[in-house]
Every structure is written in C-alpha cells, then in structure tokens.
Amino acid sequence: MFRKVLFLLLVLALGASIVSAQDAVSLIYLVDESQNSQDVAKALAEAYMAMHPNVTITIESRPGGTEGDNIVKTRLATGDMADIFFYNSGSLLQALNPTQTLVDLSEQPFIENIVESFLPTVSQNGGIFGVPTGTGMGGGILYNKAVYEELGLSVPTTWEEFAANNEAILAAGIAPVLATFGDTWTSQLFVLADYHNVAQAVPGFAELYTSNQAKYADTPAALAGFAYLQQGYEAGWWQQDFATTRFEPGLALLANGDVAHYPMLTFALSTIAANFPDQINDIGFFAQPGSDSETNGVTVWMPAGTYIPQTTTGAKLDAALGFLGFIASVEGADAQTAAVTPNGPYLVKGASLPDDVLPAVKDLAAYLDAGQSSPALEFVSPIKGPNLEQLCVAVATGQMSAEEAAANYDLDVERQAQQLGLPGWD
C-alpha cells in the first residue's frame, strides 16, 4: 500500500513538473550595474512579463567598464553565460568574437524594425547579433543655461567661440569646464566627441584609420582633440579638485551652476534628472565646437544591444528571441519611455520621443533632424585603444603634451588592431 502511494505521488510529481516545464520559462538577463541600464532592463522585462505570464526574466548585474568586459568575455569563453545579456555595440562587441559565440539574428523578422544605421554596430561576417536596448546618445557639451543667461553668452559653434565663452565664465568666477578624472573614462570626451568634426575635415578617416593608413599623431584634425585637453589645462578651465572629482559628485557641480560646461554623453542626463529634478531644465546640450562652424555637428553613440549566447537553446532560446523581438518594437520603446527618461533617440523604426522630453535631449534631436551628425569612431571602426582614458588624463593634468599622447595612443591602437587580427597591421 505504502509503495503504491509513493509510486502514485512520484508519477504525479513527475507529470506536474513536465507540464510546468512546457509552460514556464525563466530567463536570466545579465546587465551592467549602472542605474540607467538597470532601469531600462527592468522596464523591458516587466512589460514583457506582463504580456507573457509564462516567462520569468530575472536580472543579474555585473560591474561596468573594462572589469565587466572581462566578466562577459570569460563567461562566454567558458560557456557559462546568462541566457541573454546586455553589452556594448561597436568595437567592444567585435572583441567578443560574436560569430563564434552569439546567436545570429539576421533571419529573425524583428530585424526589419531596427533603424539601419544601428545594424553595422552589431554585425560581423554578415551575421547580426543584437537588438538596440536603451536610446542612442549624443557626445558633446552639457552646459548650464542659467550661467549662460546670467553672463549673456550664446551657444558656440567654433572652438574659438567656446574658448572665448570660457574666458568670460572664468572672469565671472565660475569654473568653465567640469573635469571628473576620478572616474578616468570621463576624460575622453574632448577627443571622442570631436569625431564629427574630424570626419568632416578628413572624409574617410575611419577606413584609413582601420586599415593603418591614418594616425592620430599626423592627422591635424584628429590631433585637435588632444590639443583641446592641453589648452584646457594650461588655461585653467577645470574646476578645483579636478584630478580626483568623480562622475556623480561632478554632476552636482554642473546642476548647481558651479561649473558651466561638461564634456559628456547625454546619458548623464537621466542621472541629473534623478538627483536634481529641480535643476534638470537648466541643462542644455551643444555639439563639440570644431574649427568650422559650417560643418559643426554632433557625434552620436549607439545604444548597447541585447544578445543571446549560443549556449542558450530549446525553449529558452524561443523565449529569448520573443523578448528580443519585443525590445526591437515600438511597444518596447514605449515601455522604456514610461519608466526611464530618454537620453536620446530610439533606434527602432516608428518609436518616438514624448513631447515632454528633457530640454537637452531636444537640443540633441535638433542636430539629428538637421542631419548634422556622425556615429562615433568606435561604431564605424572595430578599434579603440584601451589606454585613451589614461592618456587624456595625462594631457589634462599637464604631464604629457598633446603630440606625445597622440603618438602613444597610436601605439595603443596598433596593439588592439593586432589583437583583433585586422589586416594591414602585422
């Protein structure tokens, strides 16, 4: 008798687990720990789960920056990756060797919904590996409009005008430019956000650079970004404690008008909006000024992507593809807008920004609508040297000249190109 009952119970338990396994799928979504990425991932997952009660998406977080890059690389190399994961598009993705490690999405119907300019940043050898997650961003100068009004300044379109504004701001006792070298990655914007100006001055720079025919050190337009950092240091544009100030405390200085400008990506806006809701409308955005006001425009960063590793199979793969399809849809974009203040345009066809979007995002959208934009170099070339941030800090703290830093950066880039096995670098 006892055995019979036990047997019956066993059969029941087995049957139940088979039934539930067919229905319920749970996915783990690996996302970097920045507030913005977490919020975006959470908004997407919750909206998707509300529509598909049988799917559970759990968010797992990892560190950002190069430390996180290594975690992703190591987990992929050891076959231990989460079911889906969030990661940069562009040059960083190339280092993951996507053809060997990620699921090719090029046959999926939802690829149709993605804005074409995003696709090259998640492609390798004809395969497409990710869907845009979050919004695109502008790289340029965030500025405090209250300071501009008080001093009667206008938005500069050339570097000379920008320098003149800075002198006026300095004379008024306000620090002209925010430098947050405590977080070294923030130091690179003068160089990276200048890329639209570089591309205007030297058409085809990205191709020449990728094939080892153009260098930062001997291309004056490219060298300019480093020279700006040197000029900023020598002219005393940075605020007090610039060598150790960190990103978030720095944003407070900008929001409160203690500094006037911050060379940064527009993704900083959502942090300002969260920490200083009263001051966010004082923050505007303009493209990094260059040598020519006619061709001045904004350098655009593509959003990160969501990818599926080849280790995800079966029912999990189907559920993951469903979720990626949702991310690449207008509903997915709307779900994000409802939860997270957009920092720029979505890369999904038909997705629009709400009317009450942040003023700085409107400033950015104006450049995009006018066609005055280029994708950042790291999205049109697979190479970006990893030491750029330290080199920028070295120039901006007066330890190195612009020329020295550019030459050093070219060495750094060479190493990266060789590591990726690009033709023309051996």
Partner 1 sequence: MYPRWFYIPAAIVFSVFFLAPTVLSFYFSLTRWTLFDATFIGFDNYERFFADPQLTAGLRNTFIYAVLTSGLKVIIALPLAVLLTSSIRMKALFRGIIFFPVLVSTVAVGITFGALMQPSVGLINTVLGALGLGKPDWLGNPGLALFSVAFVDVWKGIGIAMVIFIAGILSIPLDYFDAAMIEGGTWVKFRHVILPLARNASFTVIILSFIGGLRTFDLIWTMTRGGPGFASDVLTSVIYKQYQAGFYGLSTAGNVILFILVTIIVYPLMRFFNRRELEL
In the list 53, 421, 423, 424, the residue contacting partner 1 (rule: CB under 8 A) is 421
Q: Rounded CA gap, 250 and 307, in Å?
A: 33
- According to the binding rule CB under 8 A, does residue 63 interact with partner 1? no
Contact set for partner 1, span 87-106 (CB under 8 A):
95, 97, 100-101
From 126-134, 194-202, 369-377, 410-418, give the range in contact with partner 1 by CB under 8 A: 410-418
In the list 9, 77, 339, 370, the residue contacting partner 1 (rule: CB under 8 A) is 77
As beta bridge partners, residue 348 has 114
Q: Rounded CA gap, 361 and 353, in Å?
A: 9
Contact set for partner 1, span 141-200 (CB under 8 A):
181, 184
Number of CB atoms found within 10 A of residue 370's CB: 10
Beta-strand runs (E) in 145-297: 175-177, 259-265, 283-287
In this structure, which amino acid lies at residue 164? A
Q: Nearer to partner 1 by C-beta: 56 or 397?
A: 397
Contact set for partner 1, span 294-353 (CB under 8 A):
none
- Give the x/- contact pattern for partner 1 in 386-405, rule: CB under 8 A: xx--xx-xxx-xxxx-----
In the list 22, 54, 58, 244, the residue contacting partner 1 (rule: CB under 8 A) is 244
Helix (H), strand (E) at residue 92: helix 91-94
In terms of Cβ atoms closer than 10 Å to its own Cβ (0-12, 13-18, 19+), residue 8 is exposed
- According to the binding rule CB under 8 A, does residue 42 interact with partner 1? no
In the complex, what is the shortest distance from the CB of residue 310 to partner 1, in angstroms, rounded to a whole number?
12
Q: Nearer to partner 1 by C-beta: 141 or 400?
A: 400
Orientation of helix 314-327 relative to helix 35-51, angle to 10°: 110
- According to the binding rule CB under 8 A, does residue 251 interact with partner 1? no
In the complex, what is the shortest distance from the CB of residue 189 to partner 1, in angstroms, rounded to a whole number?
16
In this structure, which amino acid lies at residue 177? V
Q: Nearer to partner 1 by C-beta: 63 or 220?
A: 63
Q: Rounded CA gap, 277 and 296, in Å?
A: 30
Q: Rounded CA gap, 261 and 205, in Å?
A: 28
Return the structure tokens found at 231.
Answer: 């000029």
For binding to partner 1 (CB under 8 A), which residues are involved?
Answer: 66-67, 69-70, 73-74, 77, 95, 97, 100-101, 181, 184, 240-244, 386-387, 390-391, 393-395, 397-400, 408, 411, 415-416, 418-419, 421
